[in-house]
Chain A
């Protein structure tokens, strides 16, 4: 079974631009969660989608948004990029209707904002 895939793996943007990251979950998984990972803050939860609906949300500004498609693939968007948005963005999928099944992570997208 293929794992979680994320595209692109690396991205360089400049301040003020916007970016869209993509995540394809493990086949059959319906829940997709997004995390931001930085050296100082560790793994910070962004949001979780299940069956095309946002089920949970972390404490990030409205510049961070996401969506999920009917095939469970998910995208996250960051508008008006800031230098502090430079991070590894991780997506995790689980086969979960109630949030109890474990999450499997993709390799991440490394975003650098100049």
Chain B
């Protein structure tokens, strides 16, 4: 089946630093999504990407849909303590009237003040 690879499992950065996270797959996806999950909460959608090559920003976050449609990255600039959490990528494939969303296992981000 389809799998999304996110690594490393954990990242530790200093407040104010930029960080980049990748998500790769051997399969092609039509849509890439990035979610953030805080402890005890459900994932919250950060950015959605719909077209190969698309680059989209949401405040300090920037994400790109890879040209091959098999990867995406998320950049966080000037990190702050509230950026701590688990970041998931998700890819969607549409087949006919249905679509299926597959999630990566997530990267836990820690920000040292």
Cβ–Cβ contact A102 & B33, under 8 A: yes
Q: How many A-B contacts if CB must be within 8 Å?
A: 50
Within 8 Å CB of A35, what residues of B?
Answer: 103
Q: How far is the CA of A99 from the CA of B97 in the complex (A)?
A: 7
Cβ–Cβ contact A4 & B42, under 8 A: yes
Residue from A56, A90, A102 within 8 A of B100 (CB atoms)? A56
Within 8 Å CB of A92, what residues of B?
Answer: 42
- A96-107 vs B, CB cutoff 8 Å, 1 = contact: the mask equals 001110111111
Within 8 Å CB of B67, what residues of A?
Answer: none
Q: A98 with B97: in contact, given A42-B105, A42-B106 (CB under 8 Å)? A: yes
Within 8 Å CB of B101, what residues of A?
Answer: 33, 45, 103
Within 8 Å CB of B97, what residues of A?
Answer: 98-99
Within 8 Å CB of B100, what residues of A?
Answer: 45, 56, 99
Q: How far is the CA of A107 from the CA of B42 in the complex (A)?
A: 4
Question: Is residue A55 contacting chain B, with contact meaning CB distance below 8 A?
Answer: yes
Q: Which residue of B lies closest to A55 (CB)?
A: B98
Residue from B31, B88, B99, B102 within 8 A of A98 (CB atoms)? B99
Interface residue ranges of B70-95 to A (CB < 8 Å): 88, 92, 94
Shortest distance between the CB of A5 and any CB in chain B (Å) = 11
Cβ–Cβ contact B98 & A108, under 8 A: no
Q: Which one, B10-18, B21-29, B43-51, is touching chain A?
A: B43-51
- A23-64 vs B, CB cutoff 8 Å, 1 = contact: the mask equals 000000000010100000111010000000001100000000
Cβ–Cβ contact B98 & A105, under 8 A: no
Residues of B within 8 A of A (CB): 31, 33, 35, 40-45, 48, 88, 92, 94, 97-106
